[in-house]
């Protein structure tokens, strides 16, 4: 373990250690939807970056810092707690940007910045289900402490969506597996399997309902307390099918751009390393076009480990035909 992590809570040290290895950064850099969206948002807006002081919150390998320098920033400060920042220093050096980029190893909440204020914050903070890992808290901390009035945040908007899917085959393989394990009844583990959302790619053809937004975050105004939220939803069924699970994904917007840039991590979009998050439900809903699945999704950071999430989904399905009625309430942990 890194010396800098000594004394830190175990779960926090574990979190930062996970970013020490180059493999996780390789996965993010190779995610072209992600990395090219940031690059386009920065390169296509040189008029915004020219001569500005920029803060890269959680700079990792410093890719966003270097984009900002190329777009004309006067100076970029990159902050990261993980030891990957040592490699970032070498990368910045070999790319001849050492005089333009200051890299600081430490927690964003604890480091001393060489500038009292910054004009722009850039950060890639999104986790699975948007909020897993809770890094957004760190960006909001940086915003409140360092961003000049009317400063810019890249990206500045995030929207979380929900939809219903048909996923009989996989649900059977994943959940039904516990019904009979080498002739034994393993159903006590079935409940556990159901409480864990699955991060996986979902094919567009599996989506049975219209998507509906359940959370929209404006990064200029959102408060850490808003990240524990509850949202009602109503999902319109598009076709006759079954619903085995609900899925969530998010879209990200850079609205400050001259030509706004948006990317989606939904099943209708190109693959990203965030994939989609699948919440299996106990019931199998038999649905027809025009039916509605209504409910409530509640999310809050886990009280023991704030980077984990406790998610509760309650739903009611009330078609005209009473034999198809269903409802339930499930708690998930991720
Ligand atoms: N900006 C890079 C890396 C994004 S991953 C890129 O786009 O490729 C997020 C990074 O933020 C990780 O390297 C992690 O160590 C860092 N990080 C998360 N919370 C932090 C905090 N509170 N203080 C400092 N670094 C943090």
The residue whose C-alpha atom lies closest to atom 6 belonging to ligand 1 is 60
User: How is domain 158-333 classified at the CATH fold level?
Assistant: 2.70.160
Average of per-residue pLDDT across 136-144: 98
Which residue out of 133, 172, 298, 331 is catalytically annotated? 133
SS3 per residue for the chain: CCHHHCCCCHHHHHHHHCCCCHHHHHHHHHCHHHHHHHHHHHHCCHHHHCCCEEEEECCCCCHHHHHHHHCCCCEEEEEECCCHHHHHHHHHHHCCCCCCEEEEECCCCCCCCCCCCEEEEEECCCECCECCCCCHHHHHHHHHHHEEEEEEEECCEEEEEEEEECCHHHHHHHCHHHHCECCECCHHHHHHHHHCCEEECCCHHHECECCEEEEEEECCCCCHHHHCEEEEEEEEECCCEEEEEEEEEEEEEECCCCCCEEEECCCCCCCCCCCEEEEEEEEEEEECCCCEEEEEEEEEECCCCCCCEEEEEEEEECCCCHHHCEEEEEEEEC
Q: Whose CA is nearest to atom 17 of ligand 1?
A: 58
CA of 123 to the centre of ligand 1 (A): 8
Q: Is the predicted pLDDT of residue 1 greater than 60, yes or no? A: no
Domain ranges of the chain: 3-124, 158-333
Q: Is 288 a catalytic residue?
A: no
- Name residues contacting ligand 1 (CB within 6 A): 16, 19, 25, 28-29, 58-61, 63-64, 79-82, 84, 107-109, 124, 135, 138
> By mean pLDDT, which of 185-189, 213-217, 319-323 is the weakest?
319-323
Which atom of ligand 1 lies at the shortest distance from residue 56's CA? Answer: 1
Q: What is the pLDDT of residues 23-75, one digit of tens each?
A: 999 999 999 999 999 999 999 999 999 999 999 999 999 999 999 999 999 99
pLDDT score of 278 more than 80: yes
Please tell me the distance between residue 16's alpha carbon and the centre of ligand 1 in angstroms.
Answer: 8
Most ligand 1 atoms within 8 A of CB, residue of 20, 63, 81 to mutate:
81
Res 262: pLDDT: 98
The best mutation among 19, 41, 54, 146 to test binding of ligand 1, ranked by most ligand atoms within 8 Å of the C-beta, falls on: 19
pTM for the structure as a whole: 0.95
Superfamily of 3-124 according to CATH: Vaccinia Virus protein VP39 (3.40.50.150)
- Tens digit of pLDDT for each residue in 164-202? 999 988 888 888 899 999 999 999 999 888 899 999 999
Q: State in Å: Cα 80 to ligand 1 middle.
A: 5
């Amino acid at each position: 373990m890194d010396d800098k992590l000594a004394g830190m809570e175990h779960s926090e040290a574990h979190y930062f250690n996970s970013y020490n290895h180059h493999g996780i950064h390789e996965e993010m850099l190779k995610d072209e939807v992600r990395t090219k969206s940031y690059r386009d948002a920065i390169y296509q807006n040189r008029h915004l970056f020219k001569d500005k002081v920029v803060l890269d919150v959680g700079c990792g390998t410093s890719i966003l810092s270097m984009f900002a320098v190329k777009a004309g920033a006067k100076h970029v400060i990159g902050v990261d707690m993980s030891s990957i920042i040592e490699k970032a220093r070498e990368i910045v050096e070999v790319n001849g940007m050492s005089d333009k980029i200051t890299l600081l190893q430490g927690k964003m909440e604890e480091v001393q910045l060489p500038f009292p204020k910054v004009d722009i914050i850039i950060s890639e903070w999104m986790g699975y289900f948007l909020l897993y890992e809770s890094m957004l808290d760190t960006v909001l901390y940086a915003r409140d402490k360092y961003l000049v009035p009317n400063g810019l945040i890249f990206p500045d908007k995030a929207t979380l969506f929900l939809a219903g899917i048909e996923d009989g085959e996989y649900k059977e393989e994943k959940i039904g597996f516990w019904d009979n394990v080498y002739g034994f009844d393993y159903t006590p583990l079935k409940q556990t399997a159901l409480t864990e959302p699955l991060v996986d790619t979902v094919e567009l053809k599996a989506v049975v309902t219209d998507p509906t937004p359940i959370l929209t975050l404006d990064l200029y105004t959102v408060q850490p307390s808003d990240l524990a939220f509850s949202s009602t939803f109503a999902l319109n069924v598009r076709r006759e099918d079954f619903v085995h699970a609900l899925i969530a994904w998010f879209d990200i917007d850079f609205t400050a751009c001259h030509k706004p840039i948006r990317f989606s991590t939904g099943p209708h979009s190109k693959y990203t390393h965030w994939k989609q998050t699948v919440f299996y439900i106990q019931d199998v809903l038999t649905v027809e076009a025009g039916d509605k699945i209504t409910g409530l999704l509640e999310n809050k950071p886990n009280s023991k480990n704030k980077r984990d999430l406790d998610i509760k989904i309650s739903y009611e399905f009330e078609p005209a035909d009473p034999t198809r009625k269903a409802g339930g309430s499930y708690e998930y942990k991720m």
